[in-house]
Every structure is written in C-alpha cells, then in structure tokens.
Structure 1
Amino acid sequence: MQSDPLGEDTLEVVRAIAALHRQIHRAGLSLRESSDFSLFEDTVRATEDRYLMEDFSSRFFDLHGTSAFWIGAWGKDGEPVSVQAAKLEDLRDRSLGQLWQQQQRRMFSDPVSHVELGDNHAHDAFSMRGRIVYHGNLWLRKDARGQGLAEALTQLGFLISVLKWSPDYLYGLMAARNAMKGFGIRVGYRRFAPRGTHWITPPEHIRPDDWLVYSNRNDLQILAKTIVSEGPE
C-alpha cells in the first residue's frame, strides 16, 4: 500500500480511534496508554487471571516506548477491567516464522528441558517480513464480556499501533475454538492460518492448537474506514 501524502488515511485512523474511545467511555471505563511495563506487570497481577505473557515480560525482553506499549481500562471502582499489549519487530532480514524459531526457544524450550518446539509453523509466517506488530496479553473481566467491549478495546489497540508504527502486518495467536467462532474477524483480524506456532511438546500453559490471525496494513486502514462510516463493529 502506498503512503498517503495528504494524510487522509491517518485522519481516518484518528477518527476511528475517537469513535472507539467514545464507545468505551460510555461503558463507564477510563483508559490509560503507557510504555511502563513494570506498571503493566503490576496491573496484570491485580487482575483475576494474573496471566502475564512471556512476550511482554521484562524477564525476557527490554520493552520501551519506541517499540512497545500497553493499554489498560479501569472501572468506576478503580479496579482493572481490561489489559492488552503490543510490540513491534523490524523483520527486514528474516521472516516472522524465523523469529519464532529463535524467540519461542528462548522463552520456553531453553528454560524447560522437556518442552520441544517444532519447525512446521504457519506457512504464512514465513512470508511475513517488514514491520510486524504482535498484539497479545488481551484480558477482559468476566462481568464486562458480551457487551462489545472486547471488540472495541482490541480495535483500539490495533489502530494505536497503526498510528505509532504504520506496520506492514499486525498479528496474534488465537485458540482454535475462538477463531472458528468468529472472534478473530469481529475484533478486526482479516487473515487466518489454522496453525500458529508448531509444538512437539508444548509448555503446560500454552495451547498447541493456536491459529495465526493477522491483518496487513491495507486491512487495518479498511477497518478504520469501516468504523468511521458504520460505527464500531
């Protein structure tokens, strides 16, 4: 996709973010965007799940404002209702699949000897290069589900990533049952590969049936235009 010299695509993204923010605010939530991942870890520990993904842990990565951010949503009671995070990888010299071979081993196989990573990852991952955003650690409190907030919050994270980094791709890894139920398409992913990372012996807390779900830059621009013209999905 060619860059837009008039900035019209950027303005569409800004308008879409504003529409999503209004929807989330009407639900009684306040938002905070930050690159302080120590605070992110503290916020995750205050949730009912307390699940911090290795990809967003300071144990494995140096996460800072040029290449990572997170968004939290809080209710009127001051308690966390949602968290999500995103980070950018500049993959001009290798593919996403090749990155997984390195990073997944570092995070999972090297610390635990009985975990074994395969190499038959999603075919699409080996053709994905450039500026690639990983979106993950998405959590929404149980009493806030089923109200359209998961979609609005996730799309907000997607479009803030577009504003910050103008990525070539944005991707996640999603449990197969959620992908097949249509959750991926509802939150804004437009491309699906029925295998994500390939595990021979997976870590105990990692599902071996994940899907690679992703959108390219054009998909994300179309998502923004759709939100502006039709309202949040």
Structure 2
Amino acid sequence: MMVPDQDEQATLEVTAAIAAITAKVEQGGLSLKESADFGQFEDIVRATEDKYLMEDFSPRFFDLHGATAFWVGAYNGHGNLVSVQAAKVEDLKDRSLAEHWQQQQRRMFVDPNPQARFGTEHAYDAYFMRGRIVYHGNLWLRRDIRGQGLAEPLTQLGFLLSLLKWSPDYLYGLMAARSAEKGFGIRVGYRRFVPRGTHWERAPGHIRPDDWLVYATRSDLHGLAKLIVRTSGADPE
C-alpha cells in the first residue's frame, strides 16, 4: 500500500477546505470572483460605501500582479458586490517584517504626509518574522450582510487561497484592538496576537494607531484547513 506524500495530503486538505468554504458562501446566496486585476480592484473599492483602498493594494504604490497578489469579491444574486478582500506576498529573506515596515510604511504614509511620524517600537514579533510573508487586508462587508455568519468563511477563504498559492511562512494582518479583543481574529484563523502593530508617534489621519499585529504560521494555516474539513464533513481523500 502506497503511503500518501505529506505535502500532497496537505494540499488535498487545503483544497477540500476551500471547497467547503465556497459551498458555505454559495449557500448564503453569494457568488465569488478571484482576480489579480488591481486596477479593477481600485475601481470597485472606490464604489463601495467605505471607499477605502488600502495603500498596500493600490497600483499607484505597487506593481501588483497574479504571481504576488490577488483579490476576492463576493456578489449577491443581483450581481452587486457585498464583500471584498485582498492579499499579497513579500519575500523577506534579507530583512524582518519590522525592517520592511520601516521602509514601506514611510514611503506610503510619511512621504505624502510630512506631519506624520513613524516610530521604531513595532510589534515585538515583527522583528523576528522573516521569509515568505503574506499581508491580508482591505476586508470589507456591506452592512446588510454583516452578522449573517459570512465574515468568517469569507476571510478564511482568503487565508487558504494564500496558503495554496504561496505556502507562506507567515500570514498577517493589522486589526483594530476592539476587533481583536472581541475574538474575531481567532475565529477566522489568526493564532498569534501582539497588542501593537506598527508604531506611530503621530499617525496619519486615516490610520488607526491602536492596531494589533495578528498572524498565523504556515502550520497554523494547515491546522485551520484541517479544522474546516473536519467540521464540514468534507473528505480530502
């Protein structure tokens, strides 16, 4: 009897978990679209009630393409956008996530806002996080579908697509303290929480200074896939 390869089995579990989540979202009356067209992403985000396109996912700051970034939209039966999210991967072999922030956040936020002051006392863990690192963000749900149990599977879908595409060492987000304290992060699949994200001495007006660094390791994400498969009754065999 042939013993299944562990990597292949892990891939089967991730694909089974994605299928289970997709089925759950579709049962909620939504359809899904994945894309790497960030020009279109900017247009659809600007048309939402929040209108907030994160600089990390703006083609004005970054050359975003299918090898390094994607976004997912969820649409209701009328074809209207009700949720969106995005993710991108950075290969940080030569520097830590905190060192990456020092360079990137300054370019995005301080250079256009001379009154802003970026600090140096970032989340402790960020000084040790290196390798292939995914940033997940720009998560938005239209108000009328909030509270219907869709936020969690939609967010998990973004996590597991990132895992399947890039097998990252880490996947992280920056989450408002209130959301982190309420447990949303743990429910969607983040497993590590640091009550400070990026350190601002004086934050730009549209940036929350109280964000937490929330993240998961590759092993955590595989554990999430196993949990989803087990609780959904899906069979990766």
Same fold (TM over 0.5): yes
State how far apart, in whole Å, the 2-side matches of 1:155 and 1:35 are. Answer: 18
- Aligned residues between the structures: 229
What is the match of residue 221 of structure 1? 222
State how far apart, in whole Å, the 2-side matches of 1:216 and 1:190 are. Answer: 8
What is the match of residue 186 of structure 1? 187
Letter in 2 for 1:171: Y
State how far apart, in whole Å, the 2-side matches of 1:13 and 1:199 are. Answer: 37
Contact 1:158–1:170 (CA under 8 A) maintained in structure 2: yes
State how far apart, in whole Å, the 2-side matches of 1:231 and 1:136 are. Answer: 26
Question: TM-score, normalized by length of structure 2?
Answer: 0.95
Superimposed CA distance per residue, residues 109-142 of structure 1 (whole angstroms, 9 cap, x where no aligned partner): 0111100000000010010000000000000011
Matches within 5 A, 1:15-164: 15-164=16-165
With over 3 angstroms needed to count, the CA separation of the structure-2 counterparts of 1:6 and 1:55, relative to structure 1, is closer
C-alpha displacement at 1:46, in angstroms?
Answer: 2.0
Matches within 5 A, 1:191-206: 191-206=192-207
State how far apart, in whole Å, the 1-side matches of 2:138 and 2:149 are. Answer: 18
State how far apart, in whole Å, the 1-side matches of 2:88 and 2:70 are. Answer: 7
Moved over 2 A (4+): none
Letter in 2 for 1:38: G
Helix, strand or coil at the partner of 2:56:
helix
State how far apart, in whole Å, the 1-side matches of 2:7 and 2:111 are. Answer: 48
Question: TM-score, normalized by length of structure 1?
Answer: 0.96
Unpaired segments of 5 or more residues in structure 2?
A: none
Letter in 2 for 1:97: A
C-alpha displacement at 1:231, in angstroms?
Answer: 2.6
Kindly report the root-mean-square deviation, in angstroms, between the aligned alpha carbons of the 2 structures: 1.0
Helix, strand or coil at the partner of 1:58:
coil
Contact 1:72–1:80 (CA under 8 A) maintained in structure 2: yes
State how far apart, in whole Å, the 1-side matches of 2:151 and 2:176 are. Answer: 15
C-alpha displacement at 1:5, in angstroms?
Answer: 4.6
Superimposed CA distance per residue, residues 78-104 of structure 1 (whole angstroms, 9 cap, x where no aligned partner): 111000000000000000000000000
The alignment-based identity, stated in percent, is 69
What is the match of residue 211 of structure 2? 210
With over 3 angstroms needed to count, the CA separation of the structure-2 counterparts of 1:6 and 1:87, relative to structure 1, is closer
State how far apart, in whole Å, the 2-side matches of 1:141 and 1:116 are. Answer: 33
Superimposed CA distance per residue, residues 32-76 of structure 1 (whole angstroms, 9 cap, x where no aligned partner): 000000111111122111110000001111100110000001111
Letter in 1 for 2:47: A
Superimposed CA distance per residue, residues 169-201 of structure 1 (whole angstroms, 9 cap, x where no aligned partner): 000000001000001001110000000000000
Helix, strand or coil at the partner of 2:29:
coil
C-alpha displacement at 1:6, in angstroms?
Answer: 5.0
Unpaired segments of 5 or more residues in structure 1?
A: none
Helix, strand or coil at the partner of 2:126:
helix
Letter in 2 for 1:19: A
State how far apart, in whole Å, the 2-side matches of 1:55 and 1:6 are. Answer: 31
With over 3 angstroms needed to count, the CA separation of the structure-2 counterparts of 1:221 and 1:34, relative to structure 1, is same
With over 3 angstroms needed to count, the CA separation of the structure-2 counterparts of 1:127 and 1:16, relative to structure 1, is same
State how far apart, in whole Å, the 1-side matches of 2:143 and 2:7 are. Answer: 42
Letter in 1 for 2:144: D
Letter in 2 for 1:42: D
Contact 1:46–1:80 (CA under 8 A) maintained in structure 2: no
Contact 1:176–1:194 (CA under 8 A) maintained in structure 2: yes
